Amino acid sequence: MPVIQTVIRRLSPRIFTGNQIRTFSRSLSAMVHPESGSPFDRNQLEELLRKRFFYAPAFQLYNGVAGLYDYGPPGCAIEANITDLWRKHFVLEDDMLEVSTTMLTPENVLKTSGHVDKFADWMCKDPKTGEIFRADHLVEEVLEARLKGDKEARGVAEEAPKEEDDKKAKRKKKVKEIKAVKLEDAVVQEYEEVLAKIDNYDGPQLGELIAKYKIRNPATDGELTPPIAFNLMFETAIGPSGALKGYLRPETAQGQFLNFNKLLEYNNAKMPFASASIGKSFRNEISPRAGLLRVREFLMAEIEHYVDPLKKDHSRFNEVKDIKMKFLPKDVQSAGKTDITEITIGEAVEKGMVDNTTLGYFLARIYLFLTKIGIDPTRMRFRQHMDNEMAHYACDCWDAELQTSYGWIECVGCADRSAYDLTVHSKATGEKLVVREALDEPYIQKDWIVETNKKKFGPKFKRDAKAVEDTLEKLSNEEKQALGEQLEKEGKITVTVEGLGQVEVEKDLILAIEERSTKISTREYTPNVIEPSFGIGRILYSLVEHSFWTRPQDIQRGVLSFPPIIAPTKCLLVPLSGNEVFKPIVKELGYKLRKAGISNKVDDSSAAIGRRYARNDELGTPFGITVDFQTVKDGSITLRERDSTKQIRASPEEIIEVMEQLIEGDAKWEDVLAKYGEFTGQQLDD
């Protein structure tokens, strides 16, 4: 880092402020892997991912569909390992209740939740070409391109990425050409402030930015229509008649909320508790791009933690309070800045930056999970949503953002949904979604009641009777008291009933309007919900970028340094040659490894051992076992570690035990080397 800063200062001592130099150097250093010291090359990584079939565009034989991807064997294995560890880290450790709910959702459910009306992005259109743009992405990309052009004009150009042969694999950038045009310092600052607040702008504000900065179709220079809202849900019809309208779910949350009463009963009515779900969700993205980072079908893992709104303290917060994390609060962003605050989660809660210990607990647990699967903590931050970008159901939300070659990417959202969902579904269905708990000390509650004469009320109002009674029931104590005075004075009461207007109720239809005392021994409340929501595909891609590097002696040799517990295959079995004497030994070793729960595969090709290991370094395989003629003599085998390429030699039983400890994180390779000593009898990586 100091070297990078020095170079920048010498190149442009009067162009950047000290803070700008630090920001720029951080972004450069983030693209340099600590293992090799070589710059990150996204094109090389994407070539590796395609070649080894981690994932690929779906329906490629038919030219594909944007935003849809198929996972190959290593991609499936990593995804399965991430979700398996997610279950252990959250569902098991926090004693959550896992459910699996349907992906098809009736319209009335999502109408109630607000998704039909509010789950939208802003898009604008070039009326001449018909091209569609997501408004915030277009503004962001155009302003970033102008800032890059400004740097070029000042003589501080960034290194351009290499051209990629396969155009479909590239991010589809709208701005194809960066023009070297120097901007006024005030304009540069204004652009940077807009970019810092880009997530806070609504449609009309984005329209104002497009007009103010003369943003047009980058390809044709055509004018664009003002931004309009585009609902992101996939619409469908349920049943052969098509009468029941539905959607593919945009999240797994609603199914969990609708099962709240069943879950509460299953949990013996104990609070707080959490449900969890892993499953596919769907969003009809306007302009899918950046591979797995913006897709139309994706895997989500979501938690709904139900908590008493008056008691948002978490019993295990002390376990995580000293974890130091990086925060980007909303007030900093609103000021057009991106300065990071690095403090412990305990300090963040104490200062009021994070509202309560339950929200703080889950932010810390998210941090621990991401670092456990191999995410670089220096490239992780927690950004608070600004007011305009807050989801309609949330009162506060923090995103765990991971830095990649595409910039900072939201991978986990942690929202305080308050009591919104349970309240609206309860109101729509008439079913109470509440918690009832016995009070230590009962109390007397005084309420006004309106008691109707059922025998006369029904015949009088017929099918409207229930609507009138419900209206009377929902009146406040003050309103009921006023009606009592009206009844005494006028011999009738008048109420406004939805759909009926003013309705008169005669005195003979009312038995009593009076204040009554009730002994309250239970408390009834609607829980608040804290929701951590994980985008597994985004996490997977970010992990791949954070894990990728190349050997210093050969930059063409890519390595994926996945933690052993996440790696798609744990061990490669390599016989020294095709000699028949090795085959039964390798077969027996494979059986023992599988019995120990260690996934493995054999490479008995004619390629050199070093080449065979290099191929599996690209797959992230952390360990390799070599069977040679010494194995035939005394049964010993060598164990190679991927990142260091160093080896030890021991019996199969010892090697398997060592691998189990390394995979589970109970031992470190440095300690293993110290115990067994490095074996240097073979050079496997030439």
pLDDT digits (tens, 9 = 90+) for 465-475: 999 999 999 89
The fourth-level CATH superfamily of domain 569-676 is Anticodon-binding domain (3.40.50.800)
Listed in order, strand segments (DSSP E) in 356-471 are 380-384, 396-404, 407-418, 435-452
Using one digit for the tens of pLDDT, what is the confidence trace for 256-286?
999 999 999 999 999 999 999 999 999 988 8
- Which tokens sit at 69? 């991807």
Residue 624 has pLDDT above 70, yes or no: yes
Query: pLDDT tens digits for 466-512?
Result: 999 999 998 999 999 999 999 999 999 999 998 889 999 999 999 99
The C-alpha atoms of residue 19 and residue 81 are separated, in whole angstroms, by 40
Taking the C-alpha atoms of residue 122 and residue 229, their distance in angstroms, rounded to an integer, is: 5
Tell which residue, 275, 276, 272, has the closest CA to residue 313.
272
Judge whether residue 412 has pLDDT over 70. Answer: yes
Residues 46-64 as b or e (16 or more Cβ within 10 Å = b) = bbbbeebebbebbeeeeee
Please tell me what DSSP assigns to residue 294: B
- Residue among 619, 448, 654 nearest 51 (CA): 619
Cα distance between residue 32 and residue 529, in whole Å? 40
* Mean pLDDT computed over 61-86: 96
Q: What is the CATH number of domain 19-101+249-420?
A: 3.30.930.10
Judge whether residue 3 has pLDDT over 60. Answer: no
Residue 513 contacts by C-beta under 8 Å, 6 or more apart in sequence?
448, 449, 450, 451, 480, 481, 483, 484, 487, 493
Q: Is 454 left (phi over 0), alpha (psi -120 to 50) or beta?
A: alpha
Give the separation between CA 214 and CA 226, rounded to whole angstroms: 12
**Least reliable range by pLDDT among 92-96, 149-153, 375-379, 619-623:** 149-153
Q: How confident is the model at residue 564 (pLDDT cuts 50, 70, 90)?
A: very high
* SS3 label, residue 410: strand
pLDDT at 28 over 50: no
Measured distance CA(617)–CA(451) in Å, rounded:
78
CATH number of the domain at 441-523, please? 3.30.720.200
pLDDT of residue 91: 98
Whether the Cβ atoms of residue 344 and residue 326 lie closer than 8 Å to each other: no
User: Comparing 150-159, 190-199, 293-302, 412-421, which segment has the lowest mean pLDDT?
Assistant: 150-159
The string of pLDDT tens digits covering residues 525-543 is 999 999 999 999 999 999 9
Assigned token pair, 560? 């994926």
**Identity of the highest mean pLDDT range in 115-124, 169-178, 380-389:** 380-389
pLDDT in tens, 221-253: 889 999 988 888 999 999 988 889 999 999 999
Q: Which residue has the tokens 């290499």?
A: 162
State percent of the chain over pLDDT 90: 68
pLDDT of residue 160: 46
The angle at the Cα of 62, spanning 57 to 66, to the nearest 5 degrees, equals 40
For the entire predicted model, the pTM comes to 0.79
pLDDT at 164: 37
Q: What is the DSSP code string of 347-388?
A: HHHHTTSS--HHHHHHHHHHHHHHHHTT--GGGEEEEEPPGG
- DSSP string over 580-595: GGGHHHHHHHHHHHHH
- In angstroms, what CA-CA distances link 189 with 25, 26, 140, 606? 18, 19, 14, 60
Q: Which of 501, 423, 416 is nearest to 467 (CA)?
A: 501
272 preceded by cis ω (within 30°)? Answer: yes
- Greater model confidence, 176 or 460: 460
Residue 426: is its pLDDT beyond 60?
yes
Residue type, 281: S
Average pLDDT, whole number, for the chain? 88
Helix (H, G, I), strand (E, B) or coil at 659: helix
Q: How many helices (H) and strands (E) does the chain have?
A: 24, 28
For the residues 587-598, what does the mean pLDDT come to? 96
Strands (E), 498-570: 501-506, 510-525, 528-535, 548-551, 554-560
Q: pLDDT at residue 7 above 50?
A: no
Q: Where are the domains of the chain?
A: 19-101+249-420, 120-231, 441-523, 569-676
Residues 444, 446: Cα–Cα separation, whole Å: 7
Which pLDDT score is estimated for 681?
75
Q: Which fold has domain 120-231?
A: Herpes Virus-1 (3.30.40)
Residue 210 CA, chain-centre distance (Å), reads 29
